[in-house]
Amino acid sequence: MKFNLLNRLTKRVVNHEGAAAYTLSPEMELYTAVVTWSLNDTFYEKNEQRLTRVRQLIAQCKPEFVGKLAVYARHKMYMRSVPLVLVTELANLHRGDSLVADVTAGVVNRADEITELLACYELLNKRTGTKKLNRLSKQMQKGLATAFNRFDEYQFAKYNRDGAIKLKDALFLVHPRAKDTAQQELFNKIVAGTLNTPYTWETELSALGQLNFDSAEARAAAFRNKWEELVYSGKLGYMALLRNLRNIQEAGVSYACFEQVCATLADGEKVAKAKQFPFRFLAAYRELLAAESASPIKALGNKINALFNGNKGYTGLLLDALEKAVAASAANIRGFNEDTSVLLACDVSGSMQQPVSAKSKILLYDVGLMLAMLLQSRCKNVQVGMFGNYFKTITVPRANILANVQEFYKREGEVGYATNGHLVIDELLRNRVVKDKVMLFTDCQLWNSNGNQYANIQHLWEQYKAQVAPAAKLYLFDLAGNGQTPLRIPQRDVYLVAGWSDKVFDVLAALENGDTAVDVINNTQL
């Protein structure tokens, strides 16, 4: 069914703040709920509540859509846990063909996801005691067998962790057929627990940390050499490199090693293959800034501190490399030329100060800023602002995406913490400003804190279109997936995009071609 035929499914409700809002089609609501869910409580919704809602939505959608959404979430939105939930629910609801097997094989992209999926299946189906993992879905079993045939010894060994469900348990349960003698020997090693210890930064540093050294200087030198070895070996993955920039810096590696680190970070092909959320670069950027302002580590002695402080002089190189890396992730954004006038507005309300996950320092507000600054870097005629109690535009350079995020982050208190997104449109309407595209980065829980129920964004947008800019388009970037929107979706020239990955801009490109987010998902290959 085409998305533009779903108007009959949209009805007016109220959002979590009690303001006017609109429902979404089951497909669209499931999409927004899935790609913004980290399996943690959010500001407006507990994790169990979202799980219940997702399960209900899955039952309302076609199985093929659910399966393709799982693969889309894994490959385009870079999500790991949520696709496993979708596969588990799909396995419980769908029978009769290879869909579940195909989706299972599609979402399992790391060896540890075999055991993670089985743990998810056990948990969601409440399999405990003697019932643990018995009667596993045959199609899921078939998909997992395909996954087992995909990985080599290094990949199995790297992720052979001591969880409740081990690789050996999974092997006995799935019974994959070895494709050759070498693979059968590999499966035998999994059973016997004799997989070769993989060469990873964790195992190398762990082994080094167990050695005794004559002095703190000798220990520091050993770790410096090890980090240099890891960097030059090419076996330090991109995510590991990104997360260890501060450790590498504090180890006192050589300038040549720093150059290698920076070259790897800024390599556009490596950025694309790494499939990192844009906010991962922001987290690394902030960690370096924190290290720059941190006091010396007194316990290590003056010589070691002198070494660390000397390496702080290289921080600028790393920050520049991170800027190049994140700019590379924006290189393919299309649809914005010098004639396209764009307004980007970021929600800084209290609910947007929610971390994306329990262990993260990155807030939904940061995600919105990152996406907005990525877009700004590709737009030629653009204004950027933020809204809370008030709406305010702030001028920053188009370059230096991460530095711009930091600038906005420091100034979010200037507009207060309400959710008056309607003021973005109100200002355009009052000043008769023509914009081709207006984009809001928000959790979609907009309301008027001044109590005027008629001054809402739906009403003001209709006025703006009628009186000022008939060709204008409005894009809502939903960063929380709470299930309602402040404008009717779909309606002419109003669009909804969701997610935290730079791949949301692929959906943006599809919208320009007359498609929708649902079309993008339905076009996903299993």
Residue 309 has pLDDT above 60, yes or no: no
CATH number at residue 455: 3.40.50.410
Residue 16 has pLDDT above 50, yes or no: yes
Q: How confident is the model at residue 10 (pLDDT cuts 50, 70, 90)?
A: low
**392 located within any domain:** yes
For residues 50 and 144, state if they share a domain: yes
Angle at CA of residue 353, ends 351 and 357, nearest 5°: 100
* Residues 6 or more apart in contact with residue 266 via CB below 8 angstroms: 321, 324, 325, 328
For residues 118 and 223, state if they share a domain: no
Instruction: Please report, for residues 80, 147, 226, the alpha-carbon distance to residue 206 in angstroms, rounded to integers and kept in the order given.
Output: 26, 29, 11
For residues 127 and 242, state if they share a domain: no
Mean pLDDT over 263-275 rounds to 94
Domain count, the chain: 3
Q: How confident is the model at residue 167 (pLDDT cuts 50, 70, 90)?
A: very high
For residues 165 and 309, state if they share a domain: no
Is residue 112 within 8 Å of residue 63, measured between CB atoms?
no
For residues 472 and 349, state if they share a domain: yes
**19 located within any domain:** no
Mean pLDDT over 106-134 rounds to 85
For residues 355 and 498, state if they share a domain: yes
DSSP 3-state of 61: coil
Mean pLDDT over 456-483 rounds to 96
Q: Would you state the pLDDT for residue 132?
A: 65
* Residues 6 or more apart in contact with residue 334 via CB below 8 angstroms: 505, 509, 512
DSSP conformational letter for 485: B
Give this prediction's pTM. 0.90
**137 located within any domain:** yes
Residue 194 has pLDDT above 50, yes or no: yes
Q: How far apart are CA 490 and CA 277, in angstroms?
A: 28
Peptide bond into 397 cis (omega under 30): no
Q: Would you state the pLDDT for residue 329?
A: 86
Q: Nearest-CA neighbor of 107 among 142, 139, 68? A: 68
Q: Would you state the pLDDT for residue 265?
A: 96
Q: How confident is the model at residue 128 (pLDDT cuts 50, 70, 90)?
A: low
Q: Is 288 left (phi over 0), alpha (psi -120 to 50) or beta?
A: alpha
**443 located within any domain:** yes
Q: Would you state the pLDDT for residue 490?
A: 83
Q: Nearest-CA neighbor of 342 among 461, 468, 427, 438? A: 438
pLDDT tens for 394-439 read: 999 988 999 999 999 889 899 999 999 999 999 999 999 999 999 9
For residues 364 and 480, state if they share a domain: yes
Q: How confident is the model at residue 300 (pLDDT cuts 50, 70, 90)?
A: very low
Q: How far apart are CA 326 and CA 295, in angstroms?
A: 29
Amino acid at 232: Y
Q: Is 4 left (phi over 0), alpha (psi -120 to 50) or beta?
A: alpha
* Residues 6 or more apart in contact with residue 1 via CB below 8 angstroms: none
**513 located within any domain:** yes
Is residue 363 within 8 Å of residue 403, measured between CB atoms?
no
Listing DSSP states for 299-366 in one string gives GG-HHHHHHHHHHGGGHHHHHHHHHHHHHHTTTT--S--TT-EEEEEEE-SGGGG-BSSTT---BHHH
DSSP 3-state of 254: coil
For residues 58 and 141, state if they share a domain: yes
Mean pLDDT over 90-113 rounds to 96
Residue 212 has pLDDT above 70, yes or no: yes
Distance of CA 52 to the CA centre of its chain: 22
Give residue for tokens 């919105």. Answer: 368
For residues 135 and 167, state if they share a domain: yes
**6 located within any domain:** no
For residues 362 and 225, state if they share a domain: no
**445 located within any domain:** yes
Q: Would you state the pLDDT for residue 492?
A: 85
For residues 247 and 352, state if they share a domain: no
Instruction: Please report, for residues 81, 138, 164, 184, 241, the alpha-carbon distance to residue 155 in angstroms, rounded to integers and kept in the order given.
Output: 19, 25, 19, 16, 18
**15 located within any domain:** no
φ, ψ of residue 362 in degrees (nearest 5): -85, 130
Q: Would you state the pLDDT for residue 311?
A: 63
Instruction: State percent of the chain over pLDDT 70.
Output: 93
Amino acid at 66: V
Q: Which domain holds residue 505?
A: 341-522
Q: How confident is the model at residue 94 (pLDDT cuts 50, 70, 90)?
A: very high
Amino acid at 404: N
Q: Would you state the pLDDT for residue 13?
A: 80
What is the radius of gyration, based on Cα positions, of the chain?
A: 25
For residues 302 and 450, state if they share a domain: no
Please give the structure tokens belonging to residue 281: 């670069």
Q: Would you state the pLDDT for residue 129?
A: 56
174, 192, 210: which is the final residue of a domain?
A: 192
Q: Please, is 396 exposed, middle or buried when counting C-beta atoms within 10 Å of its C-beta (0-12, 13-18, 19+)?
A: middle
Task: Give the residue, 311 or 12, on which the prediction is more confident.
Answer: 12
Is residue 251 within 8 Å of residue 306, measured between CB atoms?
no
Q: How far apart are CA 22 and CA 15, in angstroms?
A: 8
Q: How far apart are CA 403 and CA 410, in angstroms?
A: 11
Amino acid at 140: M
Q: How confident is the model at residue 306 (pLDDT cuts 50, 70, 90)?
A: very low
Q: Would you state the pLDDT for residue 312?
A: 67
Q: Beta 20-22 vs 341-347: how paired, if at all? A: unpaired
Task: Give the residue, 398 or 53, on which the prediction is more confident.
Answer: 53
DSSP conformational letter for 178: P
Q: How confident is the model at residue 299 (pLDDT cuts 50, 70, 90)?
A: very low
